[in-house]
Amino acid sequence: MIKILIAEDQSMVLGALSALLNLEDDLTVIATAQNGKQALEQASQHKIDIILTDIEMPEMTGIELAQELQRINHSAKVMVLTTFTRAGYLRRAMEAGVKGYLLKDAPSDSLAQAVRKIHQGKIIVAPELVTQAWSDNDPLTDKERKVLRLALEGKSTEQISKEIFLSAGTVRNYLSEASSKLGASNRIEAARIAKQNGWL
């Protein structure tokens, strides 16, 4: 039996995915989470084979979840199921050790098949994303990405510095560097450009 944890912040989608996968004789959803932080906690409490996660979730994104699982050498294989076709997301997901990247509009029977293949050690990526993924290089560092994401949420330099434990001057430097790399005139434009490319 393949044991699955699903991380998805939309309750209806979470319920539908659980029901769909539990219909399969060899798959069982043993835990669910509404953000990456909850998923990380659940992954430490249960024996999990596959973690099926969305990308954009509150508190911790699916990619940050994959990075953290990779850092602690968790044995579960991570699979992303998302609506986002941005190449930057796929690149960052694969660099974080994600073994599958599927789009939510894929046929429902392909999900169970993908789970089985990933469990067997294969890597599954939505074919329409493969060619574009390696065409754009993400110029941002993780710190620049983090401050831009918080800036996009409308947080001030001081609020960002408190949240990520850096001085306001350092935060300003990261925002300025990110804006310069992206050819943006301010932090909001820089965040928008980065988001469009899947770099946030």
Q: Where are the domains of the chain?
A: 2-133, 142-196
Residue 134 has pLDDT above 80, yes or no: no
Residue 124: in which H helix or E strand, if any? Answer: strand 124-125
How does DSSP assign 14-82, residue by residue? HHHHHHHHHTSTTEEEEEEESSHHHHHHHHHHS--SEEEE-SS-SSS-HHHHHHHHHHTT--PEEEEEE
Summarize the confidence of residues 67-89 as an average pLDDT. 90
- One CATH from 1.10.10.10, 1.10.1200.10, 3.30.1360.70, 1.20.120.530 for 142-196: 1.10.10.10
**How far is 196 from 183, CA to CA, in rounded Å?**
14
Please give the Cα distance from 64 to 36 (Å, whole number). Answer: 7
- Distance between CA atoms of 90 and 129, rounded to whole angstroms? 8
Going 39 to 133 to 100 to 76, the CA torsion angle's sign is negative
Mean pLDDT calculated for residue range 14-35: 96
The whole-number pLDDT of residue 106 equals: 84
Per-chain mean pLDDT for the chain: 91
- CA 181/CA 184 separation, integer angstroms: 8
Strand-pair category, 2-7 with 50-53: parallel
Q: What pLDDT score was predicted for residue 129?
A: 75
Q: What is the mean pLDDT of residues 74-81?
A: 96
Q: Per-residue pLDDT for 86 more than 80?
A: no
**Tens digits of residue pLDDT in 135-186:** 557 789 989 999 999 999 999 999 999 999 999 999 999 999 999 988 888 9
Give this prediction's pTM.
Answer: 0.69
| Residue 83 pLDDT level (bands cut at 50, 70, 90) | confident
Distance CA 32, CA 22 (A): 13
**Is the four-CA dihedral 149, 152, 154, 157 of positive or negative sign?**
positive
Over pLDDT 90: what percentage of the chain?
72
pLDDT at 97: 95
CB atoms within 10 A of CB 5: 24
Task: Give the CATH superfamily of 2-133.
Answer: Response regulator (3.40.50.2300)
